[in-house]
Amino acid sequence: MKRLIDLFISFIALVILIPVFSIILVLVKRKLGSPIIFKQPRPGLNGKVFQVYKFRTMTDERDEHGVLLPDTIRLTKFGHLLRKLSLDELPQLWNVFKGDMSFVGPRPLLVEYLPLYNHRQARRHEVRPGITGWAQVNGRNAISWEEKFEYDVWYVENQSLCLDLKILLLTLKKVFKSEGINQQGQATIEKFKGSEISGNHFNR
């Protein structure tokens, strides 16, 4: 049932939001250049890797050695606005339509984190990742990684259509209030470096 709802709503949203997509595409092209769409491999259901899509929010500025500058420098005011309004996430509607993601579920993180999860944290991959999730409406990037993973696993253990609806409504509230976008002292969020107890089902 959840997959059918995801498929139907994502298709309708993709059609209705064509004008919004078109405007953002032009603005990103003018202000940040190409590529307009940011693509990155992320682990999904059962750890299967897929390409997640977002609107680009950062420049490609590098130092004299060719190393990318810190996020705080590369994140532009326009990019920050896209993130503040969660407009950078709109291309993930295509991920939902394809079946890589759901509207609600644990956020898809970096592939490099897979070997760092403990067994409980790895349970976040028992469901499709989501555009929003229980961790996002309970602190988003303002909470610790351990707290975030606990919220993710709680969702896996308690998921229901009623809970998904609650999360979607709370997400709208969070976006309106622009809460939890950044971790304190960071442009986005500090990378996950592992918990005290490591090892999981996805070691390769």
Per-residue pLDDT of 133-157, as tens digits, reads: 999 999 877 888 999 999 999 999 9
CA-based torsion, 121, 53, 84, 34: positive or negative? positive
By C-alpha distance, which of 114, 113, 103 is closest to 46?
A: 114
Instruction: Kindly report which listed range (26-30, 47-51, 158-162, 190-194) carries the lowest average pLDDT score.
Output: 190-194
As beta bridge partners, residue 130 has 102
Calpha distance 102→107 (Å, rounded): 10
Please name the residue that has the structure tokens 């992320």. Answer: 42
Q: Which residues, 6 or more positions from 21, have their beta carbon under 8 angstroms from its beta carbon?
A: 90, 91
- C-alpha atoms less than 13 angstroms from C-alpha of 31 in its C-beta half-sphere: 19
**Average per-residue pLDDT for the chain:** 89
pLDDT tens figures, 174-190: 887 766 555 444 545 78
Counting residues of the chain whose pLDDT is more than 90, the rounded percentage is 68
By C-alpha distance, which of 47, 21, 51 is closest to 36?
A: 21
- Looking at the predicted structure, is the pLDDT value of residue 200 above 90? no
pLDDT tens figures, 2-18: 999 999 999 999 999 99
Distance between start and end Cα atoms, the chain: 32
φ, ψ (nearest 5 deg) of residue 3: -65, -40
φ, ψ (nearest 5 deg) of residue 61: -60, 135
Average confidence (pLDDT) over 35-44: 95
Q: Which residues, 6 or more positions from 115, have their beta carbon under 8 angstroms from its beta carbon?
A: 198, 199, 200, 202, 203, 204
